[in-house]
Amino acid sequence: MADRALFEGRSFAALLFDMDGTLLSSIEAAERIWSRWAARHGLDVEAFLPTIHGVRAVDTIRRLGLPGVDPEKEAAELTEAEMDDMGGIKPIPGAPAFLAALPANRWAIVTSAPHALARRRLAAAGLPLPEVLVAAEDVARGKPLPDCYHLAASRLGVTAADCAVFEDAPAGIAAGEASGAAVAVIAATHLEPMATPHPLIEHYDEIVVRLDAAQRIQLAARD
Give the number of other CB atoms < 10 A from CB of residue 76: 14
Tell me, yes or no, if 18 is annotated catalytic.
Answer: yes
Rg, C-alpha atoms of the chain: 17
CA atoms within 13 A on the CB side of 205: 5
Q: How far is CA 201 from CA 183, 190, 207, in A?
A: 11, 11, 8
What's the confidence (pLDDT) of residue 71?
93
Percent of the chain with pLDDT over 70: 98
Q: Which of 51-65, 96-110, 164-178 has the lowest mean pLDDT?
A: 51-65
Catalytic residue among 18, 59, 147, 168: 18
Residue 124 DSSP class:
H
Tell me, yes or no, if 20 is annotated catalytic.
Answer: yes
What's the confidence (pLDDT) of residue 4?
63
Whether the CB-CB separation of 171 and 51 falls below 8 Å is answered with: no
pLDDT band with cut points at 50, 70 and 90 for residue 28: confident
pLDDT over 90 (residue 87): no
Catalytic residue among 20, 59, 147, 168: 20
Which architecture does CATH list for 3-26+88-222? 3-Layer(aba) Sandwich (3.40)
pLDDT band with cut points at 50, 70 and 90 for residue 3: low
Distance CA 148, CA 134 (A): 7
Distance CA 146, CA 140 (A): 11
